[in-house]
Amino acid sequence: MAETTMDKIVSLCKRRGFIFQSSEIYGGLSGAWDYGPLGVQLKNNIRDFWWKEMTQMHDNIVGLDASILMHPKVWEASGHVSNFTDPMVDCKQCKSRFRADQIDLTAACPHCGTKDSFTEPRNFNLMFSTHIGAVRDEGSIVYLRPETAQGIYLDFKNVVQSSRVKIPFGIAQVGKAFRNEITTKNFIFRSCEFEQMEMQYFVKPGSDEEWFSFWRDQRMEFYHKMGINPSSLRWHRHGPDELAFYAKDAYDIQYLFPMGWQELEGVHNRTDYDLTQHQEFSGKDLSYVEQETNERYIPYVVETSAGLTRNVLMALSDAYEEETLEGGDVRTVLHFHPAIAPITVAILPLVKKDGISELSQKLERELREDFATFYDQGGAIGRRYRRMDEVGTPYCVTVDYQTLDDQTVTLRFRDSMEQVRVKLDDLVARIRLETKQYKRKEG
């Protein structure tokens, strides 16, 4: 099987409208990306798949959409102002900046080739700051959030008082986060503006280890449900030198990206660190009282933190295949799970005449009610199938002369390329069933 490289994915994403470089006509802005027509649909579908899994499928998880800008004290309390740093070195010759932990400091500068040109490593804060209001002084600084989690901690009390939730319970949030990353290579893997899907699960101190294990199982299961190849997923437990400043214990779910095994999601035991810090800095009581026992405590937090935009890259990498067909032809196909595919069903009239186009358009309008559809009547049918394979459309429906006689259409499956005849009346139910029972192709 042909190797999946990052170059092939980047090229497909640009060619088919998944992802474009930000500000491309001005030469681009590194670390920033635009999601095109198919990319935004894929991203939204992954987001919705996560949201349903976390909020709808658990009766004790509620949602939140907190603001990106927060009181600047939040980031002092959380520890991000003093601790959210990467060690950096500059090349004295060409002024390029590198992560000190990602290059060999005894080697020549990778950019200009000068030897012994690096400055001493210095800690560089990853938060972007800006000013709020008319006056640009120390007192008007606000930060673009580097993680969505803090908004959840700030609203912990509001949610408890307004939602009748009882510990253990979770708050889920999806949204933008910003980090001034110095190394932004590997396409959308590490960008300065990205999206996170985070859930903070508030538990009684002492039960945290048990919930930490529960959520690790749940999160791995989620990726299996999303149709991701299980052999490309693994756990990595953080060693003492890798742990974030807020974590007692942490495991990453890693995915085998084209550039190797890399973090996809973190599951963290954040203890009572964040709520305690915010209680201290705000002077507001953030403790929880158990109704039955009257016991008062600051809850512990188990966090599941996934990158949404990184999930998009993972889904693309996992789905991509250049398949050699009988006869030697190669087709490029994205094997997306139907639940996340940007287009679910393509409607393709075999010919444009004798009322077949009109019938196909009518069918497309009906299917729209239930699925993301696409209508294409241009070119040879084989070429139209290939175009749909390349953007990962799991089902193609072809309308032909037989349809006029017996009210049946051809339903073609992307992965196997098999075709079956289905009655028009049964089509919606059949596609729903196929989606529910979808199993990823072995390999």
Detail the DSSP E strand segments found in 136-258.
141-143, 169-178, 193-203, 233-237, 249-257
- Pairing mode, if any, of strands 345-349 and 395-399? parallel
Min dist CB 197 to ligand GAP, Å, is 9
Alpha carbon distance 200, 195 (integer Å): 16
Q: Which of 196, 269, 373, 398 binds ligand GAP (CB under 6 A)?
A: 196
Instruction: Write the burial class of residue 186 (CB in 10 Å: 0-12 exposed, 13-18 middle, 19+ buried).
Output: middle
Stretch of 151-159, 258-266, 355-363, 406-414 lying at the interface with ligand GAP (CB under 6 A): 258-266
Q: Which of 45, 305, 344, 393 binds ligand GAP (CB under 6 A)?
A: 305
Residue 266 interacts with ligand GAP (CB under 6 A): yes or no: yes
Residue 265 interacts with ligand GAP (CB under 6 A): yes or no: yes
168: cis peptide before it, omega within 30°?
yes
Min dist CB 198 to ligand GAP, Å, is 6
Task: Compute and round to an integer the Cα radius of gyration of the chain.
Answer: 25
Which among 296, 397, 284, 266 is positioned nearest to 343, based on CA atoms? 397
Taking the least distance from each CB to ligand GAP, the nearer of 175 and 266 is 266
Q: Which of 13, 91, 264, 427 binds ligand GAP (CB under 6 A)?
A: 264
Alpha carbon distance 271, 81 (integer Å): 20
Helices 37-51 & 308-319, crossing angle to 10 degrees?
Answer: 110
Binding mask 333-372 for ligand GAP (x = CB under 6 A): ----------------------------------------
Min dist CB 163 to ligand GAP, Å, is 22
Residue 317 interacts with ligand GAP (CB under 6 A): yes or no: no
Taking the least distance from each CB to ligand GAP, the nearer of 220 and 264 is 264
Residue 274 interacts with ligand GAP (CB under 6 A): yes or no: no
Stretch of 189-197, 220-228, 292-300, 414-422 lying at the interface with ligand GAP (CB under 6 A): 189-197
Stretch of 38-46, 133-141, 213-221, 261-269 lying at the interface with ligand GAP (CB under 6 A): 261-269
Taking the least distance from each CB to ligand GAP, the nearer of 170 and 338 is 170
Binding mask 126-155 for ligand GAP (x = CB under 6 A): ---------------------x-x------
- Give residue 56's Cα distance to chain centre: 18
Alpha carbon distance 194, 34 (integer Å): 11
Residue 309 interacts with ligand GAP (CB under 6 A): yes or no: yes
Instruction: Write the burial class of residue 269 (CB in 10 Å: 0-12 exposed, 13-18 middle, 19+ buried).
Output: buried
Place of tokens 């495991």: 251
Query: In this chain, which residue has its C-beta nearest to ligand GAP?
Result: 307
Q: Which of 43, 80, 190, 278 binds ligand GAP (CB under 6 A)?
A: 190
DSSP secondary structure letters along 76-109: HHHTHHHH-EEEEEEBTTT--EEETTTS-TTS--
Alpha carbon distance 301, 208 (integer Å): 7
Interface positions, 160-179, toward ligand GAP (CB under 6 A)? 179
Residue 71: CB atoms within 10 A of its CB come to 13
Min dist CB 83 to ligand GAP, Å, is 12
Taking the least distance from each CB to ligand GAP, the nearer of 46 and 345 is 46
**Residues in contact with ligand GAP by the rule CB under 6 A:** 147, 149, 179, 181, 190-191, 194, 196, 198, 263-266, 303, 305-307, 309-310
